[in-house]
Amino acid sequence: MILVTGGAGFIGANFVLDWLAQSDETVINLDKLTYAGNMENLASIADDPRHIFVQGDIGDSALMTQLLQTHQPRAVINFAAESHVDRSILGPEDFIQTNVVGTFHLLESVRAYWTAMDESAKSAFRFLHVSTDEVYGSLGPDDAPFTETTPYAPNSPYSASKAASDHLVRAYHHTYGLPVLTTNCSNNYGPLQFPEKLIPLVMMNAVAGKALPIYGDGLNVRDWLYVGDHCSAIRTVLAHGKLGEVYNVGGWNEKANIDVVKTICTMLDDLHAGSPVTPHADLITYVKDRAGHDRRYAIDATKLQRELGWMPSETFETGIRKTVAWYLANQTWVANIASGEYRHWVEKQYGSKA
């Protein structure tokens, strides 16, 4: 049995679905169901006895202790986080609360559980912390990609809170011997991503004939990885990673934002000819830049490839085509999200342009 936190969100839900497609090992899925958590993501496994969903907070020590004692998982995989950079700029407190304080309490619950185990269970146990490339800061155009030894230089409240959690995880290994693994991944895209992030936001707006907001000059670069490849990297690190080690995960797919958006527009011209506005690129609208906007991220995932044999299976071209097709086929999923609290966020972030 494994325990996953944040498994109703984008990557966590993809991970749980992929896991149960390949294994009969039960998953306990602990998620607070913040605005980003969505039970619809897990609808296909609602009646699956291998999936036990529990609504709760990683920072709730009593709940975590009870879950660990009752189910005795052999691993904890921590996806739970506040994850959107723009939200961290407008309101950092939740990020500190969940990503820093919440991770600390989770580590304490896990440490107590692990300490009480017998020696063989102790050495088999793993705590895998899912983190981000944003902890390394921003690259210039000619800088080499981030490696596992690149010094941390987080620039947003989000990345600073993730960096703090990474340091705590590292310290729990160094000080207490907790068997931890950390992954630092680049930008994910794919099915089930909340439409506050660039790719699903552009999909949702383009289909509705609304403006496609590009921050600044649109030349900021991200290194895109299909979410299924992130899930396979996490499974690989969980199975074969060396204790206490960090593994960078990336897709060797650096793209400027404007190029990503133009690619989606061209695909939509082809796949969604009935849109209110075509060509879809006519909807591209340059807007005010993000405060402190990191210019470029690029991940060197050579260590994961060389030591553990992982490689992504999607190129950006195959992955984005699948993703565009998924959003077109799942308009009800998008419509169910695009209401309530989310509409309030769009008004706050994009004002009258929304």
**SS3 assignment for 195-255:** CCCHHHHHHHHHHHCCCEEEECCCCCEEEEEEHHHHHHHHHHHHHHCCCCCEEEECCCCEE
Burial profile 176-185: b = 16 or more Cβ within 10 angstroms, e = fewer: eebbbbbbbb
User: What number of other Cβ atoms are within 10 A of residue 10's Cβ?
Assistant: 24
Q: Binding segment for ligand NAD among 57-65, 111-119, 239-247, 278-286 (CB under 6 A)?
A: 57-65
Torsion angle, alpha carbons of 258, 264, 267, 273, to 10: -110
User: Which of 297/316 has CB closer to ligand DAU?
Assistant: 297
Cα dist from 291 to 198, 255, 283, whole Å: 16, 20, 23
User: Which of 31/294 has CB closer to ligand NAD?
Assistant: 31
User: Which of 34/263 has CB closer to ligand NAD?
Assistant: 34
Residues 175-194 that bind ligand NAD (CB under 6 A): 185, 187-188, 194
Q: Specify burial of residue 290 (Cβ count, 10 A radius: 0-12, 13-18, 19+).
A: middle
State which of residues 2, 28, 51, 57 lies at the interface with ligand NAD (CB under 6 A).
57
Instruction: Respond yes or no: is residue 134 known to be catalytic.
Output: yes
Residues 133-162 that bind ligand NAD (CB under 6 A): 162
Q: Which residues pair with 214 in a beta bridge?
A: 286
User: Which of 169/185 has CB closer to ligand NAD?
Assistant: 185
| 9 binding ligand NAD? (CB under 6 A) | yes
User: Which of 110/249 has CB closer to ligand DAU?
Assistant: 249
Q: Select which of 82, 86, 134, 229 is catalytic.
A: 134
Size of the site for ligand NAD (CB under 6 A): 30
Pick what 229 binds: ligand NAD, ligand DAU, none; C-beta below 5 to 8 Å, kind-dependent: none
Pick what 295 binds: ligand DAU, ligand NAD, none; C-beta below 5 to 8 Å, kind-dependent: none
Give the shortest CB-185-to-ligand DAU separation in angstroms: 7
Residues 5-64 that bind ligand DAU (CB under 6 A): none
Give the shortest CB-116-to-ligand DAU separation in angstroms: 33
The helix/strand/coil state of 183 is strand
**SS3 assignment for 20-64:** HHHCCCCEEEEECCCCCCCHHHHHHHCCCCCEEEEECCCCCHHHH
Instruction: Respond yes or no: is residue 31 known to be catalytic.
Output: no
Q: Select which of 136, 158, 189, 247 is catalytic.
A: 158
List, by residue number, the catalytic residues.
Answer: 133-134, 158
